[in-house]
Each structure stands twice: as structure tokens, then as C-alpha cells.
Amino acid sequence: MTADAAGAAHPSATTDPRAPAPEVPEAVRSLAARCVPRVNELARLMSQDTFAQLHGYAELPADVRDVEIAATARHGLRLFLERVVHDPQPGPDDTGFFRERAAQRAEEGMPLELLLTTHCAGARVLWQALREAARPGEEAALVELAGYLLGAEQRVVSAVTETYLDEQTALATERREERRAQVRGLLAGTEVPPAGSGLDGP
């Protein structure tokens, strides 16, 4: 999953988080477990190769690309795979980390389309890894994992989109309030017009 993509591995988590998680078949657990040692490798593949092919990704600050997005990818991969393997109940804060990063990306001006595309691209990388790890006779387990992956992706993408848009709205409101305060200060004579504004004299 992605740069920012994991979440609950169980489809029920996308509807009623209070519902008990269904039992994960042993074959599904075994297949997911074989991908856990590849988490760091897959995260590097996502942040340094897969995402680099996305329009606009190269323009992001280096620390965002190489550190933050890579760390988010590792978190998402590990969260998804370990949830499948250990079958814990979905937690209320599964998407908290992704929401935090979505707010940061909104504040930095990363386009929402690019952010969501990294999620989808990351999910494809994980799906390919699961396919590569599958052995003959594990076709049914692979199909079931696909369902878990789609459910997790839906949950996280929804949370990321909501948080990003909320942060954008908050930032726009903050900018409007700053402009209003500046105008009030200018009218009251307590604010110095910014240089180059045309209001600061000859």
C-alpha cells in the first residue's frame, strides 16, 4: 500500500468498526507473513521508483520524498501485513498516522490528486509482492487478500481525502482572517502596509 496506505485488513472494518473481525484463514496469514521481511525493500521501491514516475512527484522537497513518504509507506505496509497475520481487532486510530501526514501534505501544497495516486500506486506494489509470494495452490488465499487490500485502501483513502480537504478549508479560513486583520489594522493606522503592496507610498 502506500505512501500512505494501509488500515484495517478486514472488510468489516470499513462498515462497522465495532463488529468482531472475521477469522483469517491460515493460508492467508502464511502468504502475508512471507511479505513482512520485504517491508523495507518495498517501501524503498515505492518512494524511489514507483512514485518517481508520477507527474509532480519529482518536484516535492527531497526530505518529503526520501524520508516522510518512505516512512509512511513502511508504516502502511507493516500495519496491513501484520494485521492480516495477527488478526487483531480494528483499532479506532488505524488511520491516525495517515490523517496526520495528509494534513502535512495539504499544508505544504502537495496536490490531492498526487497524494491519492501514491496510495493507489503503493497498493499495486504490495499486490504485486503478494502475487510473487504466492505458491501453487494459494490462489484462493491470494483472492481473499485482494479483498482485504481493497478494503484497507478504501478506508485509508477516505480518511486521507477527508483530512486533506478539512486542512485546506482551515488554511483558507486562516488566510482570510489574516487578510481581514491586516485591513482592519491599515484602516486603524496600526498596521504598516507591506512593501510593494501599492499602499506603502512612493
- For residues 69 and 15, give the distance between their C-alpha atoms in angstroms, rounded to a whole number: 28
Across residues 192-198, what is the average pLDDT?
A: 59
In a domain, 202, yes or no: no
Across residues 2-30, what is the average pLDDT?
A: 58
For residues 25-48, b (16+ Cβ closer than 10 Å) or e, as one string?
eebbbebbebbeebbeebbebbbe
In a domain, 193, yes or no: no
Across residues 11-30, what is the average pLDDT?
A: 63
Q: Are 24 and 99 in contact (CB under 8 A)?
A: no
Residue 37 predicted with pLDDT over 80: yes
Beta-carbon contacts of 60 under 8 Å, excluding residues fewer than 6 positions away, are 69, 110
In a domain, 30, yes or no: yes
**Burial of 160 (C-beta count, 10 Å sphere; 0-12/13-18/19+):** buried
Q: List C-alpha distances in Å: 141 to 16, 40, 195, 202.
A: 24, 23, 65, 74
In a domain, 9, yes or no: no
Residue 115 predicted with pLDDT over 70: yes
Terminal CA-CA length for the chain: 57
* Lowest-pLDDT range of 50-64, 143-157, 163-177, 185-199: 185-199
- Per-residue pLDDT, 15: 43
What are the respective helix, strand and coil percentages of the chain, to the nearest 5?
Answer: 70, 0, 30
Residue 97 predicted with pLDDT over 80: yes
Across residues 44-68, what is the average pLDDT?
A: 93
Q: What string of DSSP letters covers 75-90?
A: HHHHHHHHHHHH-PPP
Across residues 124-137, what is the average pLDDT?
A: 97
Per-residue cell: 15: 462498515
Residue-number span of the structural domain to which 167 is assigned: 23-188
Under the banding of pLDDT at 50, 70 and 90, the label for residue 89 is low
In a domain, 8, yes or no: no
Q: How many domains does the chain have?
A: 1
In a domain, 200, yes or no: no
- Per-residue pLDDT, 14: 41
In a domain, 50, yes or no: yes
- Per-residue pLDDT, 88: 58
**How many C-beta neighbours within 10 Å does residue 189 have?**
7
In a domain, 165, yes or no: yes
| DSSP state, residue 51 | G
Comparing 37 with 202, the larger pLDDT belongs to: 37
Q: What are φ and ψ of residue 95, in 5° steps?
A: -100, 5
Q: For residue range 138-174, what is the model confidence (pLDDT) as tens digits?
A: 999 999 999 999 999 999 999 999 999 999 999 877 7
* CATH code of the domain in which 27 resides: 1.10.490.10
